Amino acid sequence: MSDIHAEPDGQKKAKRAPKQHVNVAAAAVLLVKAARGNRVVSVLGCAKVIAKSLEREGDPEGAAAVLAAADSQLMQALPMRENPKDVVEWYEPSDMTDELVLDRHTGELLCRLRAELRKAPRILACGIDAPTRVLFLGPTGVGKTTAARWLGGELLLPVAVAKLHSIVASHMGETAVNLAKAIGASRMCPSILMLDEIDGMASKRGATEVSGVQAERNSITSSLLQQLDMLPPEQIVVAATNFPELLDPALLRRFSTKIEFGPPDEEARRKLVKRWLRKCSHTEQAVEALVRMGNGKTGADLRDHTMRAARVAIVEGSALGSDHVDPDYPKECP
């Protein structure tokens, strides 16, 4: 939205207020503390962003002051807090560089979700539930984790991904503790918490009289429900599952927004193939052959086919053609 407004005839333009001289280093400290909640992540990166903005505004001295403060004042102002890297993996908004490519229907749902999350404070202020609890459904390789990172990039929020292999433990009670650590890590700053493969962390609860294994599963699911209920309504939680039928009904109810991911449609497949081959010599016939081959397959499967065909063409020293797309090509070892 433009900040330029039309003036009534005969009125002079208002003079711009003189630039306020502030302690730039102190301003950088406050900005990073507000944006990261005292979590030491990309402090130098934040300082560089601030410095570039100041340079564009014609304040090179201020830019230099920010960079000079990054290694000293900023680090002193942001004491290191516990960051359980063993249970979460952080992705900064800038980590998402490629445009997300999905089928048209899923893409429209994600765009609607993005718009509503951007207005979440206003929605909550009106007493309306905001879509801050989201469940991504679909098989492996359709872009659920990538979509969560894309959402973080669009909302300028880091994403804390809690992976199944880092959460589930062999000792009784340890998995619930790891879940609590992951959820606690996401509350250290404004962020998106992603619970990947949530069906492997918390499944349907069984009857009262159950075995030790089932009792542990019941305990994990109950613990996750309690942790989710303790989160503030503005905290965004994205969960992903390949098997929604395995989830406890109470857990499903916690996620008011559900988006199902399927194989990419023809338009999406064409965009993906062209992106992957942008540095590789190829023919349009090869692109169309890969698009046809990928019909009904996940984006991950389509990528595997594309990479294999490109490798064959590179070994031959020729442009990627439709023949290279054939899984049985070449017939003989080069």
Distant-in-sequence, close-in-space partners of 146: CB < 8 Å, separation ≥ 6: 100
* C-beta of residue 297 within 8 angstroms of C-beta of residue 263: yes
Question: Given phi > 0 = left and psi -120 to 50 = alpha, else beta, which region is 37?
Answer: left
Of 165-169, 192-196, 289-293, least confident by mean pLDDT is: 165-169
pTM as predicted: 0.68
Q: Identify the DSSP state of 244.
A: G
Q: Report which of residues 276 and 26 the model is more confident about.
A: 276
Q: Report which of residues 91 and 271 the model is more confident about.
A: 271
Please, where in the chain does CATH 1.10.8.60 lie? Answer: 266-325
Distant-in-sequence, close-in-space partners of 247: CB < 8 Å, separation ≥ 6: 198, 199, 202, 203, 204, 241
Q: What is the pLDDT of residue 137?
A: 94
Q: What are phi and psi of 87, to 5 degrees?
A: -120, -15
Nearest to 235 by CA among 243, 227, 223: 227
Q: Across-strand partners of 91?
A: 159
In this predicted structure, the answer to whether residue 79 has a pLDDT above a threshold of 70 is no
Residue 208 — pLDDT band, cuts 50, 70, 90?
Answer: low
Locate 152 and state its tokens: 């973080």
Please, where in the chain does CATH 3.40.50.300 lie? Answer: 89-260
Q: Report which of residues 225 and 39 the model is more confident about.
A: 225
Q: What is the pLDDT of residue 164?
A: 72
Write out the CATH class of domain 266-325. Answer: mainly alpha
In this predicted structure, the answer to whether residue 113 has a pLDDT above a threshold of 80 is yes
134 to each of 131, 182, 195, 254, how far by Cα in Å?
A: 7, 17, 10, 9
Give start and end residues of each alpha helix (H) in the chain. Answer: 24-36, 43-56, 60-69, 75-77, 104-118, 120-125, 144-155, 164-167, 174-186, 212-230, 249-254, 266-276, 284-293, 299-316, 322-325
Q: What is the pLDDT of residue 179?
A: 81
Give domain 89-260's CATH superfamily: P-loop containing nucleotide triphosphate hydrolases (3.40.50.300)
Q: What is the pLDDT of residue 141?
A: 87
Average pLDDT, the chain: 79
What is the pLDDT averaged over residues 76-104? 66
**For 22-54, how does the pLDDT look when each residue is reduced to its tens digit (9 = 90+)?**
455 555 555 555 555 544 445 566 667 777 777
Q: Across-strand partners of 133?
A: 237
Q: What is the pLDDT of residue 66?
A: 73
Q: What is the pLDDT of residue 57?
A: 79
Residue 98 — pLDDT band, cuts 50, 70, 90?
Answer: low
**How far apart, in whole angstroms, are the C-alpha atoms of residue 44 and residue 56?**
18
In this predicted structure, the answer to whether residue 305 has a pLDDT above a threshold of 80 is yes
Q: What is the pLDDT of residue 224?
A: 86
Q: What percent of the chain has pLDDT over 70?
A: 73
